[in-house]
A and B are shown apart, each in its own frame.
Chain A
């Protein structure tokens, strides 16, 4: 087998893995959009906030320590304990639920029935507010996140492919873990939304508020639930990206990578988010590999957006989105 082909296969494989990470972020958007028609601009910042909170809890950092020290003239930074990864994750989930509840009570509840653009603006506000709060709470320096996920090259895959193609593939263990976790997450979400009472209620609220009320569904509860689930997905995305490239401000920008994924997959489809993520992941890696050298490289920065633009022109509802039919 020619080395070029083996190399292309490796690129594709790595593209799939990267795509899973994009899909994870896109999933958070889809969840909230499906259940409330809100495009949640803050999803990326939620991932950042979740990752920072997780690191902060694990390191036993005192929240708002800079603020407290500046006001009281004290010098406290750490509680002096370390929280094990799993416990810290559970605590962070709690924080994300609390955040969901606050968002609902302080912001979204007062905007029920407003135009989508108003709700969108509210989430932009929320994004910047949350960004500020995370800095204030945990400090703005770059942190490393290690919850004990395996990292580095997967030897087994390298060996196997070396025997087959005379060329060892480089696949990061973390990417494999991310794929497994994403698969579990999606299965869980599908089970939840298809087979449980709360899932049914969530779909009902997404469809018609009045009808939902008339069968005894509390809109407030469902919205808090949806924001909590989105917060949880943000945490998972935050852990994966944070482990990969450190917990820092740029983490919130992964939200921008999720946009083309959503345009491809459709804003309302969970499978769409996954497939869209994979297509973009593979597409941009292969494009860089095949076409990149001819145009001077750096195609990964724009490939996804051009693809999304093409979709907007020819299939605006995305691959799996609900078809937009307007009756005249």
Chain B
């Protein structure tokens, strides 16, 4: 077992750092329904951490706990080693945790560029009047923000649709715009909720490549949810497997693949 602050080098030569976020005994209930039951796991700096499981396993709920959209009844979240007080989603975002949504949440009425720019909102420090009059620190700030935004737009290969209103884009591109917006916040932790849901094989390959590139180029820590086992195994460094709100496996893709509980859950062995 590795120490929390210890770092190590993976097989493909990337360095994985200490623990960034730790979930401790999280339990989440909706009325009488237990969505997450006493789950603990951690996310290390620079890794791609996957949460997988069959439909209804509680994966999305877990991501929503991390991003503050749900408040668990029990357990606590440690961020950079410190217990995180109960926070609103926007406060979590301001701590450098960006996310995407399973059912894409973009600003449909705005252009791609404007959408990605909203990712920079928390990096704007000049006041209202400076911004409106384009004076003081506002100009330099805006130039810097633009640079970051353009880099992300280039990175995700969506230059050709910069000025297009998002509502006109096909599904696959919307997913990319959403990722660009999350990235432009330069997050220390990026949460992806089913980034490949509803995509065809080609789009899935593109998205996998983007996720790997993001991790590689910016060193962003990524936690993602996916129910497609194949994709996840190729992509991630470590995998948490959930079923019926419980954790049934945690480890490298190989370890998880050979875990009997995981095999049962995916092949549908009855619970008794």
Contact = CB atoms under 8 A, between A and B. Distances in A.
B110 A196 contact: no
A192 B132 contact: yes
Given A213-B89, A214-B99, A203 B128 contact: no
Interface stretch (B44-52, B71-79, B113-121, B222-230): B113-121
Given A192-B128, A195-B131, A216 B107 contact: no
Contacts of A218: 88, 90-91
A216 B93 contact: yes
Contacts of B122: 215-216
Contacts of A204: 107, 110, 118, 121
Contacts of B199: none
B198 interface: no
A283 B119 CA distance: 45
B185 interface: yes
Contacts of A211: 101, 105-107, 118
Interface string A206-217: 111011111111
B93 A214 contact: yes
A195 to B, nearest CB: 6
B178 to A, nearest CB: 8
Contacts of B110: 203-204, 207
A109 interface: no
Interface in B206-230: none
9 contacts: A197-B121, A197-B124, A197-B128, A198-B128, A210-B101, A214-B67, A214-B99, A215-B98, A215-B119
B107 A213 contact: no
A191 interface: yes
B70 interface: no
Nearest to A221: B90
Contact of A196 (B108, B119, B131): B131
A219 interface: yes
Given A196-B131, A197-B124, A216 B94 contact: yes
B118 A215 contact: yes
Interface in A187-207: 188, 191-192, 195-198, 200-201, 203-204, 206-207
B109 A200 contact: no
B134 interface: yes
Measured as residues with beta carbon below 8 angstroms from the partner, the interface class of chain A is: 20 to 34
Given A207-B107, A208-B105, A213 B69 contact: yes
A190 B124 CA distance: 19
A221 to B, nearest CB: 9
A191 B90 contact: no
B175 interface: no
A191 to B, nearest CB: 4
Interface of B: 67, 69, 88-91, 93-94, 98-101, 105-110, 114, 117-119, 121-122, 124, 128, 131-134, 181-182, 185
B105 A196 contact: no
A61 B13 CA distance: 76
A214 B101 contact: yes
Contacts of B107: 203-204, 207-208, 211-212
A159 B118 CA distance: 53
Given A200-B117, A322-B109, A215 B181 contact: yes
B121 A216 contact: yes
- The listed residue with most B CB atoms (<10 A of its CB), out of A188, A213, A217, is A213
B90 A195 contact: no
Given A191-B132, A218-B91, 19 more contacts: A188-B132, A192-B132, A197-B124, A197-B128, A198-B128, A200-B118, A200-B121, A203-B110, A204-B107, A211-B107, A212-B118, A214-B99, A214-B100, A214-B182, A215-B118, A215-B119, A216-B91, A217-B90, A219-B90
Nearest to B100: A214
Given A204-B107, A207-B109, A213-B89, A196 B69 contact: no
Given A197-B121, A208-B108, A214 B131 contact: no
A201 B117 CA distance: 10
A213 B101 CA distance: 12
A219 to B, nearest CB: 7
B185 A196 contact: no
Contacts of A212: 90, 107, 118
Contacts of B133: 191
A214 B192 CA distance: 12
A188 B124 CA distance: 20
Contact of B106 (A196, A208, A213): A208
A213 B97 CA distance: 11
